[in-house]
Amino acid sequence: MTYWEHLTSARIDAFDRCVPAVLPLGAIEQHGPHLPLATDRLLADHFCRELDRRLGDDVLVLPTVSVGYSRHHDDFPGTLSLSHETLLHQVVEIAGSALRLGVRSLLLVNAHGGNEGVAQVALEQLGYSWPDRTIARTTWWQVASDALLELTETGPGGVGHACELETSLLLAVAPHLVDTAVVPERENESPFAWDTGDMLRGAPATRYRRFADVSSTGVFGDPRAASREKGERMSGIVVERLAEIVRSLRTEAKS
């Protein structure tokens, strides 16, 4: 078992410092009428659990940062949020604790778009403060964007939040938490042609928007194309890509 909090102090002290540490970043926020508030945290936990299953003692999984930055979702009930500053301190200080123990490499694995800006700043702060270590970051949709794009059926703007991708993954990971009776239709339109990107397709520019500005349901994209089979395929692809990164970090640390 390679979960940090499951080990004793003595076992952590004896752990191979070349084994990469992974810090999952999640969120607790609205995910439309059909997905649970914990969707992002559930996905962060799932991918790291599968990494542990695949890599065993070749990865060390830190405790998930469960609440992220989600204030743009505040118009919908249930959303919890940290400030940018609090989230940044939490990520940097948790990671710093592992690095002070001697961990040679660390990967931030993010599962929430609202955490992206903070994750990048954390990467830069940690990298500057620990120049002799390897610090990296990714998201589950970034690490396999080419393969995920081939699986999608909803076109540009079809994957963004509680969408085809996230709904498919939840159908595979926690189907008992998906209310399939209330899956909404697609709803996300922008008045600007340059602001039409989604999770897998970048836009020429982006503007600040509260989620209620683009969707009355809290969904960005089209979850009607979701399926458990698609989610299972997505999960396998993402976990293998993450495993490739972790393996390369360990190889580099040992060289």
> Which phi and psi angles does 107 have, rounded to 5°?
-120, 120
pLDDT at residue 192, rounded to an integer: 84
Which spans in the chain are helix H?
Answer: 9-13, 39-55, 84-100, 116-129, 145-151, 164-173, 228-254
91: nearest Cα among 61, 71, 65, 66: 65
Helices (H) and strands (E) in the chain, counts: 7, 6
- In tens, the pLDDT along 188-223 reads 877 788 887 889 998 899 889 899 988 999 999 999
Instruction: Say what the pLDDT of residue 240 is.
Output: 98
Tell me, yes or no, whether 18 lies in a domain. Answer: yes
Establish if 214 belongs to a structural domain. Answer: yes
Stated pTM of the model? 0.95
Q: What number is the average pLDDT over the span 115-125?
A: 98
Q: Report how many domains make up the chain.
A: 1
In a domain, 254, yes or no: no
Which are the contacts of 134, defined by CB distance < 8 A and separation ≥ 6? Answer: 104, 105, 106, 249, 252, 253
Q: How many C-alpha atoms does 98 have within 13 Å on its Cβ side?
A: 32
Answer whether 133's CB lies under 8 Å from 106's CB. yes
Domain assignment present for residue 255? The answer is: no
pLDDT in tens, 50-99: 999 999 999 999 999 999 999 999 999 999 999 999 999 999 999 999 99
| Structural domain includes residue 29 | yes
**Closest by alpha carbon to 215, among 184, 240, 246, 238?**
184
What is the C-alpha separation between 126 and 124, in angstroms, rounded?
6
57 CB-contact burial (10 Å; exposed 0-12 / middle 13-18 / buried 19+): exposed
Residue 32 located in a structural domain: yes
The answer to the question of residue 186 being in a domain is: yes
Q: Residue 138: inside a domain, yes or no? A: yes
Q: Which two tokens stand for residue 49?
A: 């659990």
Q: Which pLDDT does position 210 carry in this prediction?
A: 92
Mode of pairing for the β-strands spanning 134-139 and 220-221: unpaired
- The residue segments making up the domain with residue 22 are 4-249
Q: How far is CA 179 from the centre of its chain?
A: 22
* Residue 229 burial (CB count, 10 A): 11
Q: How far is CA 64 from the centre of its chain?
A: 10
CA distance 23 to 137: 9
Contact 182, 33 (CB under 8 A): yes
Give the pLDDT band of residue 146 (cuts 50, 70, 90): very high
- The CATH number given to whatever domain includes residue 92 is 3.40.50.10310
Residue 1 has pLDDT above 70, yes or no: no
Tokens 């076992």 sit at which residue? Answer: 11
| Overall size of the chain counted in residues | 255
29, pLDDT greater than 70 = yes
